[in-house]
Structure 1
Amino acid sequence: MSIPSFGAGTFRLTGQTVIDSVSNALDLGYRAIDTAQIYGNEAEVGQAVADSGVPRSELFLTTKIWTENYAAGKLLPSLRESLDKLRTDYVDLTLIHWPAPGNGVALPEYMAALAEAKAAGLTRRIGVSNFNIELTRQAIAAVGKGEIATNQIELSPYLQSRALTAFLKEQGIPVTSYMTLAYGKVLQDPVLQQIAAKHGATVAQVALAWALQLGYAVIPSSTKRANLAGNLKARELHLDAADMALIATLERNGREVNPAGLAPEWD
């Protein structure tokens, strides 16, 4: 993969909370950090990274362009502002956060601006987030096959999005799974609890291992150091075919994030 398979997310974390979370993650060995303009925490993420002492060359930083910055004349200046907050000359990955159909900026315009940001050296890779099959096709057409580094989408045992993930695999576009624990809802699932007990693991580790074994990257977040450390252990957990088959039965189209005006028509 051109992107790390395991990172730390920062959604809904602000102020000292996000500084502590990112600091703990980096201290525990995380090297990929995911943020976004709309999270309002890029400056704090930048502070935590700077204070960590981890060389920039060892880090993989992702941010996402917010909808108000999609226009050709706004995207690059907004990304430069993000870089200032993050205290870096470049990010490793920049995503279009939501397709936001009808917001007044056509997909070819903002994808061309994103490609321009890459050409200018502001970002090493470009990609999309929350795009359905048709919009991903349009994004590929706009910037060229092989240019989309990932489609970051909500995925969990309760929302497996098989049509979209199959399409992305066919196109050679890596999947990044966010909300893999479904706001914690999967932690109470009896099937996942049974699998966790079988392996002497936590339910969070089972859900993350499921995504990893399907070839997805994951970016779970936590305010607790113990949970950040525990999540990392999902990389060592191997689920067998029976486990994966059981988790496949949990699909319920359990989407947690679907903002009106931003989300596409899902496949």
Structure 2
Amino acid sequence: MFYYTTGVDAGDVIEQRSVPVEPRDTVGTVFDRLAVAACELLDVVREPLEQGAIEAMPQDLSKATYRPRRQPQDGLVDWSMSCEEISDWIRAQTHPYPGAYTFHRGTKLRIWECEVFSESATTQNPGTVVNVSSGSGFDVETGDGVVRVVRVTPDGDPSQWADEYAESSGLTQGTVLSAAEAPPEWIQTGIRPARGHNSAAFETNLTLGEQGSVDVLTRTGRPRTVGVVAELDGERIFGDHREVTGEHCCNVEYTPSTSGTHTLKVLFDVDDEVRDVRYLKLFVTERAD
């Protein structure tokens, strides 16, 4: 709980509390826990606030971390990740969010529930269905093992058990789930941490003179003309324009010249129309003596 200011969650902290996140949790159950904790905090601070007796704690903005605003299209499952990473990815995007997703024979398939089935990899490529288990779900190869998909929603249909979907849709052992199975009209644009960095860690906290970078990604189901322009505080620092089929990724580097808060803007132009705009906040501190 903190005071509202014009900065990004930058106000002085009034009180704080953490809640546990268990392997069985989803983002929805964590929100429920946080709601209970918030009510408890209000009971604790209401009287001191009314009396003006709160001693709020300033935040150390140099330790702040920033992430770009997510969009539903960002939920594509990368089956090359580890079993635990995929499980966390899916649990973090369940209701009330639109859900993580993959593609099967041109159908967008939202995945609401999965479990780590085996942490021993098979000889199959990530995204390959290695087994369909009646009454349980279907098993998919990952980067380091196998996850069992339990609950899904195919586009245009109600949610259903994964094994029932497999039976009705013809999903069998050897079926591959991936962006390559997307319909021709599908397109995904966005930014992600630069290759070689932790998948959740954007380079947003820099010292003056330090360079950061971000990967700019386009995936499309058919050939498209894609333009990408990146600006740092309104000044153009990168431009690329090309025909894209399948997947294309380029790296954008940035080196803010002053300390303080900066904004990286990445604009995607697809077939001569602005398709997407992404923003990333950067925080730059002076070098220590």
Same fold (TM over 0.5): no
Instruction: State the TM-score, normalizing by the size of structure 2.
Output: 0.26
Structure with more of its chain in helix, by fraction: 1
Larger radius of gyration: 2
Instruction: State the TM-score, normalizing by the size of structure 1.
Output: 0.27
Structure with more of its chain in strand, by fraction: 2
- For CA contacts below 8 A with separation 6 or more, give which structure has more relative contact order: 1
